[in-house]
Structure 1
Amino acid sequence: MMNTLEQTAHATGENGTVTNCPFQSTAQITGLDHREYPYWHVLLKGRHIGVHRPDDRICNWVARTLRTDGKYRQKCLGPALDLSKPSITYDLAISRAFEWFETGAVSALSVTPEQVGRVTRLCVCPIGDTYTVGHAMADYLEWSKLARSPGGHYNNLTLMNYHLVPEISGIPIEEFSARHLQALAQTVLERPPKRGFENPRSRVDPDTLTTDEIRRRKRTFNSLVTILRTVFRYAWESGRLQSERSWKCLNRVSVNHQPRTIFLTRTECASLIEACGPSLRQLVLAALYTGCRVGELGELRVEDVARDGFGISVKAFKRGPARFVFLPAEGMTFFLNACQGKDPMSHIFLSTEQKPWKRQHTLQFRTAVAKAKLPKEFVFHGLRHTYASDLVANGASLDTVAKQLGHANTLTVMNTYGHLAEAVREMQVQQCFSQLSPERDDCSEQNIARFKAIRDKEDPKNWREKGRPTTDTTLPRSPLARPSAEVMQVFSKLPGEH
């Protein structure tokens, strides 16, 4: 007899997530390639069933749950193929999985299971004749669903549901003021970010936040202000908002930009490539040769290679136009070899499931990063940063890098990608500084020994930290934002300069 969780999974989606599993039969399981980590299928949020097939000797059903601390707990359910032991059926594996999900120790430490699927609507149903902020957000989302990209619309929707709906959705839009924005700023500081499908965490004391955490929360607050300005403007253009007072108080706060500093040396690139499986290795190499995003690489087809010159034609992505990315000779060789034997309209890079790459690289890439002993914060986008930093470090102009990456101007490159590793910066200063006083060009053994003593203090394992200035402020050098006094009070009370 099915328990409550299993009944929910059978009722989720068009045919039920249990029925939709792509590896139920022996033939389907046999067709799975060998790999170190399991193939997973989502049954409910935080509840998965999978097949672990690392080689010809092992093939097991496995289940996992997402714990409240953001980590997974995994259990072997039994053999999936008749190898050393008799196999169990998919139905029996499902039954064992849900039985394990419901055990007290597992259930108590796991997130609340919910039906699978992205949120598609505002988590509030505004009613009544008084036009509230909730009404305005609902009207704006109807327009946004048609006018914006799916990703942009979804990001706004999740931010609204997590931050705006609980705090301000019931406020009449004509009465919205800086006082409400002040309360929102305080809430953003206290509320930890929500990652994926995890349950909301307890609020924190803003005084305990680090500078980086405050910086991220200020950026979140600015995103919310941008959303509200768009929502209020849409309401004003629709004739639902008469006064500009509620609109005028929506000003952003000043926050400095923290450029990405995690990128790889060529030795580290080789380690990462070695740690990847065959399909992911091709994707990583393509990113290192082009600086393209994973979505751009997933859309590349054979006809896009060398069509307009010595490089690849990248289709329009996000809000950016199409562009042409020039390749080095070894990069062109790589792409030509990857295209051999394929039709012009075929995708060049496919996942282990023979599907175009979209987001299914995340777990595999995280595993490869750990295996290569790279910083755990390094993500796939860091390959794009590695590409740009390597070009800049070897003398490429910011304009060239901007065009290769598809940026509209050099400002983004200068702020985000233009900085070099501090070790490279030091080397260039040593090489490029012209002699000022010959008598200070001391090459004596005593002076060389003093230099060596300084070098020996440096930790080669932490070269990414070298020369990075420590700061307890999130303010840029020249603050341009003009937030209201009420909002400024919230951030000025924090330790440091914010």
Structure 2
Amino acid sequence: MARTLRKDGKYRQKCLGPALSLSKPSITYQTAIARAFEWFETGSVTDLSVAPEYVGRVASLCVCPIGDVYTVGHAMEDYLTWSKLARSSGGHYNNLTLMNYHLVPKLSAIPIEEFNAKDLQDLAQSVLERPPKRGFENPPAKVDPNTLTTDEIRKRKRTFNSLVTILRMVFRYAWESGHLTSERSWKCLNRVAVNHQPRTIFLTRAECGSLLDACSPSLRQLVLAALYSGCRVGELGELRVEDVARDGFGISVKPFKRGPARFVFLPAEGMTFFMKACDGKGHKDHLFLSTKGKPWSRQHTLQFRTAVAKAGLPKEFVFHGLRHTYASDLVAHGASLDTVAKQLGHANTLTVMNTYGHLAETMREAQVQRCFSPLSSENDDGSERNLRRLQAIRDRDDPEKWREKAHPQTASTLPRSPLARPSREVLEIFSALPGDH
């Protein structure tokens, strides 16, 4: 059934076709959706219906699994019921939005026992053709995969890998719940190989100043807190006065994203900022509040995007980029990767090395110059001519592009030693792209 709300407050509905094969053959979910939108867009229905409005944050799977045949849609719905209880709210919401945009249209009607590599191949093709959708904007038009840049292919590969990870969790939950009689359906759920691209969208101190000038007073406090501590917006939103200087020269951060609690050391400048933020507040009061006097959660997004545009920064820069700015600044000025990992709350240095390790090259050069002990007076040439030659080599690097120094350049999205073993059908989709082999 398709149903629309009329302007007089009543509903009008239309039968689209049978969902079950009883007296008549059933129609597929995709067919029902197509018929529904065709009906919605007819002149008579448009004239009598109220204007569509977004109802707010997505809270459920956009599919109604029915029937005795256990489909991928059934499995996703069951998994989300468990995920809402077991996972963090942010992780659950990210999975839900990815499912609704990518998985529901392509896979929800497929019986889970019949899922195979060809279905995963269709999903890979769909991911390549569908540009990312942000917020409540209308889905963008499909694109030709052959027109994608290397970076766009890399991002779509990572999206595909995220979807494969979600499907593996969904199928495993179905298996453990007794809805799968064998593991065959999810044996084909393998990720594709993709190289890691270091973070380059972070700010210089001058750019930080421009951003702070473009922020409202309450948002400015939140941005400064992130730049001083490297904390996530959710961690900052949970900070209370009692967390400042409780365990030492810094702030105590509560467990977040299933990670343990940690203590973040602060520079003197940052410690002063956090102590000032405590002035006039009670021991249990939240440290940072929005313009409406509520703890920061997700309401910062639009305000931050506006400030980024006003400051003339790259539109791709999001609040999480402040965390990258914090880490990049520490690495570029000689902090060890282990120190940065502990400050950010990572279990080990691997993530930090993959994300910011290229910045350590600048400090590696400086440390080699400073720490190497003299070996031969013959080559310890301090003449003016030799010093000019050495300086000419250093001057080849543009000091304005310090963030890109030693940045690995590659025309392929494949890593040197791919560990992923995707199915042949999926590999055919990505291998056909120009330059990606």
Instruction: Flag whether TM exceeds 0.5 (same fold).
Output: yes
- Which residue, out of 230, 241, 252, partners 1:291? 230
SS at match of 1:219: helix
Question: Residues 378 and 139 (structure 1 numbering): CA distance in 2 closer, same or farther, change over 3 Å?
Answer: closer
| Residue 272 of structure 2 corresponds to residue 327 of structure 1 | no
Superposition CA RMSD, Å:
2.8
Aligned to 1:151: 90
Q: Which has the higher contact order (CA 8 A, sep 6+)?
A: 2
Aligned to 2:16: none
Aligned to 1:358: 297
| Contact 2:333–2:363 under 8 Å retained in 1 | no
Aligned to 1:59: none
Query: One-letter code of the match for 2:298?
Result: R
| Contact 1:310–1:326 under 8 Å retained in 2 | yes
Question: Residues 450 and 375 (structure 1 numbering): CA distance in 2 closer, same or farther, change over 3 Å?
Answer: farther
Q: What is the distance in 1 between the residues matched to 2:6 and 2:431? A: 51
| Residue 415 of structure 2 corresponds to residue 490 of structure 1 | no
Larger mean Cα displacement after TM superposition, 459-468 or 336-345 = 459-468
Query: One-letter code of the match for 1:132?
Result: T
SS at match of 1:120: coil
Q: What is the distance in 2 between the residues matched to 1:242 and 1:308? A: 53
Aligned to 1:36: none
Aligned to 2:53: 114
Question: Residues 126 and 272 (structure 1 numbering): CA distance in 2 closer, same or farther, change over 3 Å?
Answer: closer
Q: What is the distance in 1 between the residues matched to 2:209 and 2:378? A: 44
| Residue 458 of structure 1, CA deviation | 4.7
| Residue 248 of structure 1, CA deviation | 0.9
| Residue 330 of structure 2 corresponds to residue 399 of structure 1 | no
Q: Show structure 2 runs of 5+ residues with no match.
A: 11-50
| Residue 217 of structure 1, CA deviation | 0.7
Query: One-letter code of the match for 2:268?
Result: A
Equivalent pairs, count: 394
- Which residue, out of 95, 100, 108, partners 1:169? 108
| Residue 419 of structure 1, CA deviation | 3.5
Query: One-letter code of the match for 2:161?
Result: N
| Contact 1:136–1:235 under 8 Å retained in 2 | yes
Question: Residues 368 and 451 (structure 1 numbering): CA distance in 2 closer, same or farther, change over 3 Å?
Answer: farther
1:213-292 equivalences under 5 Å are 213-292=152-231
Query: What's the TM-score, normalizing by structure 1?
Result: 0.72
Query: One-letter code of the match for 1:114?
Result: E
Aligned to 2:138: 199
Aligned to 1:317: 256
Question: Residues 420 and 340 (structure 1 numbering): CA distance in 2 closer, same or farther, change over 3 Å?
Answer: same
Identity across the alignment (%): 80
Q: What is the distance in 1 between the residues matched to 2:67 and 2:213? A: 61
- Which residue, out of 161, 181, 185, partners 2:120? 181
| Residue 241 of structure 1, CA deviation | 0.8
| Contact 1:312–1:325 under 8 Å retained in 2 | yes
| Residue 129 of structure 2 corresponds to residue 190 of structure 1 | yes
| Residue 246 of structure 1, CA deviation | 0.9
Q: What is the distance in 2 between the residues matched to 1:134 and 1:382? A: 35
| Contact 1:389–1:418 under 8 Å retained in 2 | no
State the Cα deviation string for residues 144-189 of structure 1 (Å, max 9, x = none).
2222222222221221121111112222211111111111111111
Aligned to 2:415: 476
Q: Show structure 1 runs of 5+ residues with no match.
A: 12-111
Q: What is the distance in 2 between the residues matched to 1:435 and 1:362? A: 54
Query: What's the TM-score, normalizing by structure 2?
Result: 0.81
Question: Residues 399 and 465 (structure 1 numbering): CA distance in 2 closer, same or farther, change over 3 Å?
Answer: closer
Query: One-letter code of the match for 1:203?
Result: K
Aligned to 1:416: 355
Query: One-letter code of the match for 1:311?
Result: G
| Contact 1:421–1:464 under 8 Å retained in 2 | no
Question: Residues 7 and 412 (structure 1 numbering): CA distance in 2 closer, same or farther, change over 3 Å?
Answer: farther
SS at match of 2:119: helix
| Contact 2:412–2:436 under 8 Å retained in 1 | yes
| Residue 371 of structure 1, CA deviation | 4.1
